[in-house]
Amino acid sequence: MDKKIKDRFAQAQIIGITAHIRPDGDAIGAVLGLGLALINAGKKVEMVLRDGVSQSFRHLEGAALVKREFSSECDMNIVVDCSDMKRTGGVMDGKTIHLAIDHHVTNGNFAEINFTDTNAVATCEILAEKMSAWGLGLTKPVACALLTGIISDSIGFRTSNTTAKSLRLAAELMDLGANISELYNKALIFRSYAATNYWGFALARLQHEDNLVWTSLTLEDRASSGYTGNDDADLTNILSSIDPLDVAVLFVEQKPDATKVSWRARPGLDISALAVSFGGGGHPAASGAEVKGSLLDVQERVLKETRKFLDQVKVTETNGTPFMGGKTL
């Protein structure tokens, strides 16, 4: 497959790249890392994210080149870090997807060429490993973008799918000039006052039931805090640090009739199938979906199904059988 992708890059003249809505560090890093490498290879590249680049990642070189919609017809369309076309936010509607690069277990293989490695901690890890084989060079700006994605999706090399290969690739990116401490702080530590204020609304209404934790953020919270993004400002990382915890659920109101739901699970539980049942997807321990309905309605339905999931976990684990993803092992 490496030769096939390399040849496809070589043939293309105008290349379009996008990722999922509400892009995180891995999505932004993958778009920028691949996009900058292709520009360096002499290609005309359009990098598009429907929701733009969040403030936390605008320090990355090339961030100012990212637009919210395509202005050209591209002869190669690429989707990175995205499990299905719906999550691109419509920017690729009506276009043939020639290449998809992803690491989500729920990827639907929607492109002509699908390169999915579910063992990779981040899509940026895949790119860091494979770009040379695809005929693309890694410069310092590319390395900074890719290392940002690896740091972000591994939550600073803390997730259970972080491997020795993840660390080796990170070291290689550092050798190219990427400053790990600076990128780590910007991706995971530094927050604006507005983002921190936004968290406060959700933390004030935090609830728990056994080892299930949940809270919500409303459109009014966003306006009152001054936070300009339509995501959770990485609050899910805080919720997932609660101990003990089986599952944390965060509800973020997007519109009066649509709510973003994020699930985080302890190691050993696979909640991706639960997210899929609500039209979403993701990873075993970190999944999400955008669900139609009012915030209260979505919260009621999602918590009901999440409780059923945890009841099934209790039954199987009481019987001494490990439980993952709705199946006993």
pLDDT digits (tens, 9 = 90+) for 21-39: 999 999 999 999 999 999 9
DSSP string, 71-91: -S--SEEEEES-SSGGGGTTT
pLDDT of residue 267: 87
Helix axes 164-175, 140-153, angle to 10 degrees: 150
The 10s digit of each residue's pLDDT in 156-195 is 999 889 999 999 999 999 999 999 999 999 999 999 999 9
SS3 content of the chain, % helix, strand, coil (to 5): 40, 20, 40
Cβ neighbours of 227 (radius 10 Å): 23
For a pLDDT cut of 90, what percent of the chain falls above it? 85
CB 229, CB 193: distance < 8 Å: no
Looking at residue 185, what is its pLDDT? Answer: 96
Q: Which residues of 38-59 are buried (b: 16+ CB within 10 A; e: fewer)?
A: bbebebebbbbbbbebbbbbee
pLDDT tens string 4-13: 999 999 999 9
Between the alpha carbon of residue 303 and those of residues 28, 279, 306, 310, the distances in Å are: 31, 15, 5, 10
CA distances for 279 relative to 45, 78, 171, angstroms: 31, 22, 37
Any idea which residue has 């695809």 for tokens? Answer: 134
- Is 90 exceeded by the pLDDT of residue 318? no
Which tens digits make up the pLDDT trace of 262-299? 999 998 899 999 999 999 998 899 999 999 999 999 99
CA 123, 128, 129, 135 dihedral sign is positive
d(CA 218, CA 196): 15
**Predicted pLDDT at 327:** 37
| Whether pLDDT at 319 is above 80 | no
Q: What is the reported pLDDT for 147? A: 98
CB 187 within 8 Å of CB 148: yes
* 107-113 mean pLDDT: 93
Cα-based distances in Å from 259 to 41, 196, 218, 238? 41, 21, 9, 20
β-pairing, 76-80 vs 44-48, is unpaired
Regarding the domain with residue range 2-189, which homologous superfamily does it belong to in the CATH classification? inorganic pyrophosphatase (n-terminal core) (3.90.1640.10)
Task: Report the share of the chain in percent with pLDDT over 70.
Answer: 96
**Between β-strands 212-217 and 247-255, what pairing exists: parallel, antiparallel or unpaired?**
parallel
Indicate the pTM of the whole model. 0.86
CATH architecture of structural domain 193-328: Roll (3.10)
User: Is beta strand 247-255 parallel, antiparallel or unpaired with respect to 258-265?
Assistant: antiparallel
State residue 298 phi and psi, 5-degree precision: -65, -45
Which range among 54-58, 68-72, 75-79, 313-317 shows the weakest confidence by mean pLDDT? 313-317
Alpha helices (runs of H) in the chain, residue ranges in sequence order: 2-11, 25-40, 123-130, 140-153, 164-175, 180-184, 193-204, 219-225, 235-239, 272-277, 295-318
pLDDT tens digits for 141-153? 999 999 999 999 9
Q: Are strands 14-18 and 76-80 parallel, antiparallel or unpaired?
A: parallel
Locate the domains of the chain by residue range. Answer: 2-189, 193-328
Q: List the structure tokens of 173.
A: 């990116």
Closest to 57 (Cα-Cα) out of 217, 286, 229, 197: 229
